[in-house]
Structure 1
Amino acid sequence: MKTISISGSFTDFFSRNYIYIDKTETIYKLLKMQKKVFISRPRRFGKSVTLDTIGTLFEKGVAPYFKGTWIYDKWTEPTYPVLKISFLDYSVTDINEFKRRFIKDISTFAKKYNVEGYREDIETDGSLASLLYALKEHNQSIVFLIDEYDCQLVANIDNPNLYEKFREIIRRIYATFKTYNEAIKFLAVTGVTRLKDATIFSVGSDIVDISNKSAYSQLIGFTKEEIKTFYIDYLKLATAYENNVSVDNVTDTQINAMLDKIAYNYDGYCFDEDYEKKVFSTWSVNNFLQSILEKEKVHFGDYWFDNGGLPSILAKNIEKSKINLFDYLNKDHLIEVSRNSFLNPTSLLDIDNNVLLCQTGYLTLRSSLSSGDSIISLGFPNREVYDSLTQLMAIKALKKETSVNVDGKNILDEGNAKQIIDLFNTALNTVSYDKFPLNSESSVQGYICIYLKAAGAKVSAEVHSSKGRADLVIERLHRRIVIELKYADSDPLAKTKLNEAIEQIKNRDYGNVLPQKELIRIAAVYNADPHVRAIREYQQV
């Protein structure tokens, strides 16, 4: 069984016999149709290895690295010098050190390829201009690849002065590329964010943004068909462990069921302007499949989020109450943003938070960009992102430790209905009414959800089934807790509402889904009377 690579180097796939998901047909189309491109994708999604693949193709040709790929017998271009720069390797705090490193990389390249007429300059754009001018004068051209162009900008969202200095350096670099167009065979720039103030779309206006172009929407990321084709041995192994059968006895139906589970956890990213094509997170899929060999069992971990965490700009905005956590508790809820704010963000300093969440991979497209509508819908891509993001946001929002343990006992795993409701009331008693006024069913539901998420529990709000929608579902290893919650402002109304909740659970059979677990279903009513303010009426159904 071939090894899965988490590497950013394309040549490793050949030299170490790693599995390579063949993207060369799309790369061929890109290189034939475009000359200068920009593409934004979340971190740990495969941008670097995509650039490295392009660089290897131009610098070394197809043999031997591309043997067995789609492009092997179709690529006829000669080789070109390739200059690849990753801003991740550059200083994010020292302007002079950033400039020194950039100029050094330009000069090293010029020396390596004996570029006649090159003169090192004290400025980044000066050295770059000298290199490109010298190449043009000798009818030479290069392939220029810039990875993570926005690294310095993202790092300085809390330092407007330094942010502006880095922005100006980046602006001059892209203006230089446009001035010396003849010396560029191909230019590709990647980053997490799409920002007008970085001037990729102004002074560098001949750079084509392909971030949401349908033709390239699956260039970075895995499709379900690619996973089934290239990772079939791993899928069979996972299916065998999951169904307790031998690898030789797994069925196509079982393999497809495993693929559906992987999709639920790691699929759902859409970068397609037509909202038709989706991809899986490469980092999550690779780590999940690799863990099967190590653990000898199936474990759907939160790999991508654990590696990336919450962007500092979002964490700060949560603390400043600029982000309302309640907006994200329903995983099926669509979040609307204006078309202009999505397509034309100007600066990280004032970008719409939901647009930033989308660019960084915590939300994704849920509607077409090509329809011309003034409003665009966003939503969570998958279970991994929903669970991890809302848990961390809950911790940030509450600013305190929460727990589901009482006297050494995990109430969600071992408690009865009364103990579970007592836990909820304890949580509700900690509410700051000026910040989280409990004045509706959704607010009570939301706060309980926030509290449990901050404690690390896997809880979902507004969970759909074939017969209806449960208010709260808490999934444990061996237990499923379903809460149907109502809101009342008096004792008489609370009793009426309790009966409504009981009938709702019975009629809609909430929680009776696969996989089967111990099922605890509780009808509960929050009494908002100022003398009560608690869940006093409840019944296990």
Structure 2
Amino acid sequence: MKEIAQSENIEQFSLKNYIYIDKTEYIYNLIKKYDRVFFSRPRRFGKSLTINTIGTLFEKGVEPYFKGTWIYDKWTQNTCPVLHLSFLKFSVSDLDNFKRDFCNEILKFAKTNNITDFTDDKEPKVLIGNIFSAMPEDMHIVLLIDEYDCQLTANINNKELYEKFRLFIREFYAVLKGEKHIRFMALTGVTRLKDVSIFSVGSDIKDLSYDHAYSQMIGFTREEIKKFYIDYLKLGISYEKHIKTDCVTDNDIEEFLDRMAEHYDSYCFDEIYENKVFSTYSVNCFLQSISQNQRVIFGDYWYEAGGIPSILKNYMESHEIEIDKFQTSEISINYDDFMNPTSLPYMNENVLMCQTGYLTLKSEIKPPRRIKLGSANREVKAALNSLLSQKFFNPDALDSFYDADSILEKGSVEEIIEHLNKVLATIPYDKYPVENESILRALLLMYLSGLRCDVRSEQHNFKGSSDLLVNFKTRRVIIELKFSKDGKDTDTLLKAAQEQIRRREYGIEKLGDRELLQIAAVFDGSPNMRKITEFKQIG
């Protein structure tokens, strides 16, 4: 069985016999159709491997690295020098150091390719212009720029440094625009920003971030996982069902893929909202875990690998977030806000969440209609709630903050309500007042989901939808919430919540052998209370 790799270098897949999900047909068509392209994707999605694959094709050809791939017998282009610039390698905090390292990379390229008789310079835009001028008339190169916006995202709260890096990118691109020695150019990044001019009117770079034809070039499809990782799928099923791998049925495989999809699928980068992909990093980690641990663990690999992206952490320090928006199934935003974000510090928070992978497309992109966004899957929703929890709650103020799973699964109703009240008490009410039932439900959902509990809000059954449903192996907890702004009529509200649970039979669907714990609860929002004061177990 071939190994799974997280490599960003296509050569390693061949040399070390790693599994490679073949995306070369997309790359072939991309290079054949366009001269200069850009595509944005969230971190750990495969941008760097895509760039490296393009570079290897141009620099070394198909032999021996592309044997067995779609492109192997179709690639006919001659090799040429490749200048590969990864902005991740350069300083994000010092512009002079950034320029020095940048120039060193350009100089290395010139030396390697015997380009001489040019004037050295400390300004990258001047240096690369001088090198272009010194190239023979018939010499052509490929230019690849990975994570072009790294320095911008790192300085979202440093206006002076952000502006310096922005101007550098703008001016550097001006030197590249129309340069005859560039045979092909590709750029990647997380964000798409008009204020760097790369995507402005008159740019010669084609933005393919939401192009239907290339929407599955980065990311795994269900069919690709089934084709290339079939041995790992069968292995996981065999561990779960305690059967031999050759006894695994097609139905077993489809059910297993359904569960994988719930956790890792449904990212959409398609303008017509047709194609979706799985997170490459999460799928690889999940399947590697099966082999290493000999069990199936649906972990949150994408978030745990990188923690909170600096771009979002910095953004949330200087911007207010509307919590109830992120707990809805869909967020609607203006077409122009989504497609034409001007500047990173002033970007709509929903667009930023989408570009960083915490939200994804839930509708087609069609002007002038509003565009819908939402969470892609359980993994990313839990990651988003972990991210938001650190803004709204103060985990350091409560020793048992992270114990919700054990308290809800094993504790009494009294212990559960006491814990939830203590958690809510860590919220700074002057900044984030709990003003209604919707915000209360959103906060509790954020807290429980952020701790990786299997929690559902507005979970529908055949008679209605409960406020919160939390699943554990041995217990299902239903919480029906009511809100009293001034502390009045709490008894009446409690009775209404009880009656609602009984009449609509919340939580009975697909219960299995779990214990069902149904709780009616009333939150008193008056200034001297601000906690759940009335609660009752049903049954």
TM, length-normalised to structure 1? 0.92
**C-alpha distance after superposition, 1:506-534 (max 9, x if no partner):** 2xx42532675333222333455778763
| Partner amino acid, structure 2, of 1:40 | S
Q: Hey, what does 2:198 align to over in structure 1?
A: 200
Q: 1:140 and 1:237, CA in 2 relative to 1: closer, same or farther beyond 3 A?
A: same
1:68 pairs with 2:68? yes
| Partner amino acid, structure 2, of 1:202 | S
- Superposition pairs of residues 37-48 of structure 1, within 5 angstroms: 37-48=37-48
Secondary structure (helix, strand or coil) at the match of 1:349 reads helix
Q: 1:327 and 1:531, CA in 2 relative to 1: closer, same or farther beyond 3 A?
A: same
Q: 1:511 and 1:205, CA in 2 relative to 1: closer, same or farther beyond 3 A?
A: farther
Contact 2:39–2:188 at 8 Å: present in 1 too?
Answer: yes
Shift of residue 361 of structure 1? 0.6
1:463 pairs with 2:462? no
Alignment size in residue pairs: 534
Shift of residue 431 of structure 1? 5.4
1:512 pairs with 2:512? no
Q: 1:486 and 1:380, CA in 2 relative to 1: closer, same or farther beyond 3 A?
A: same
Q: 1:132 and 1:403, CA in 2 relative to 1: closer, same or farther beyond 3 A?
A: same
Q: 1:404 and 1:253, CA in 2 relative to 1: closer, same or farther beyond 3 A?
A: farther
Contact 2:178–2:204 at 8 Å: present in 1 too?
Answer: no
Secondary structure (helix, strand or coil) at the match of 2:210 reads coil
Q: 1:105 and 1:528, CA in 2 relative to 1: closer, same or farther beyond 3 A?
A: closer
- Superposition pairs of residues 101-116 of structure 1, within 5 angstroms: 101-116=101-116
**C-alpha distance after superposition, 1:87-135 (max 9, x if no partner):** 1011111211111112111121111111244332221111111222333
User: Which whole-Å CA distance do the structure 1 matches of 2:66 and 2:347 have between them?
Assistant: 41
User: Which whole-Å CA distance do the structure 1 matches of 2:117 and 2:404 have between them?
Assistant: 75
Q: Hey, what does 2:183 align to over in structure 1?
A: 185
Q: Hey, what does 2:266 align to over in structure 1?
A: 268
Q: Hey, what does 2:125 align to over in structure 1?
A: 125
RMSD: 2.5
Contact 1:318–1:324 at 8 Å: present in 2 too?
Answer: no
User: Which whole-Å CA distance do the structure 2 matches of 1:365 and 1:189 have between them?
Assistant: 22
Shift of residue 65 of structure 1? 1.0
User: Which whole-Å CA distance do the structure 1 matches of 2:458 and 2:319 have between them?
Assistant: 24
Q: Hey, what does 1:141 align to over in structure 2?
A: 140
Q: 1:26 and 1:363, CA in 2 relative to 1: closer, same or farther beyond 3 A?
A: same
Q: 1:537 and 1:480, CA in 2 relative to 1: closer, same or farther beyond 3 A?
A: closer
Q: Hey, what does 1:7 align to over in structure 2?
A: 7
Q: Hey, what does 1:175 align to over in structure 2?
A: 174
**C-alpha distance after superposition, 1:461-494 (max 9, x if no partner):** 2223455322112233432212122335414522
| Partner amino acid, structure 1, of 2:390 | I
1:394 pairs with 2:392? no
Shift of residue 458 of structure 1? 4.3
| Partner amino acid, structure 2, of 1:359 | Q
User: Which whole-Å CA distance do the structure 2 matches of 1:141 and 1:397 have between them?
Assistant: 53
Q: 1:466 and 1:247, CA in 2 relative to 1: closer, same or farther beyond 3 A?
A: farther
Contact 1:391–1:450 at 8 Å: present in 2 too?
Answer: yes
| Partner amino acid, structure 2, of 1:239 | I
Secondary structure (helix, strand or coil) at the match of 2:345 reads coil
1:476 pairs with 2:482? no
User: Which runs of no fewer than 5 residues in structure 1 stay unpaired?
Assistant: none
Q: 1:515 and 1:235, CA in 2 relative to 1: closer, same or farther beyond 3 A?
A: farther
User: Which whole-Å CA distance do the structure 2 matches of 1:460 and 1:447 have between them?
Assistant: 13
Shift of residue 11 of structure 1? 0.3
Q: 1:516 and 1:341, CA in 2 relative to 1: closer, same or farther beyond 3 A?
A: farther
2:537 to 528, 536, 539: 539
**C-alpha distance after superposition, 1:342-369 (max 9, x if no partner):** 1111111111111111101110111111
Q: Hey, what does 2:358 align to over in structure 1?
A: 362
1:384 pairs with 2:408? no
1:352 to 324, 348, 353: 348
User: Which whole-Å CA distance do the structure 2 matches of 1:96 and 1:407 have between them?
Assistant: 47
Secondary structure (helix, strand or coil) at the match of 2:84 reads strand
Contact 2:475–2:514 at 8 Å: present in 1 too?
Answer: yes
**C-alpha distance after superposition, 1:213-257 (max 9, x if no partner):** 101111110000000000000011111112221111111101111
| Partner amino acid, structure 1, of 2:200 | S
1:374 to 363, 369, 378: 369
| Partner amino acid, structure 2, of 1:486 | K
**C-alpha distance after superposition, 1:248-274 (max 9, x if no partner):** 111110111110111110111100011
| Partner amino acid, structure 1, of 2:269 | F
The farther-off stretch of 69-78 and 517-526 is 517-526
1:498 pairs with 2:508? no
Question: Identity percentage over the alignment?
Answer: 48
TM, length-normalised to structure 2? 0.93
- Superposition pairs of residues 93-492 of structure 1, within 5 angstroms: 93-135=93-135, 137-180=136-179, 182-202=180-200, 205-319=203-317, 322-330=320-328, 333-369=329-365, 371-401=366-396, 402=398, 410-428=406-424, 432-453=428-449, 457-465=453-461, 467-488=463-484, 489-492=488-491
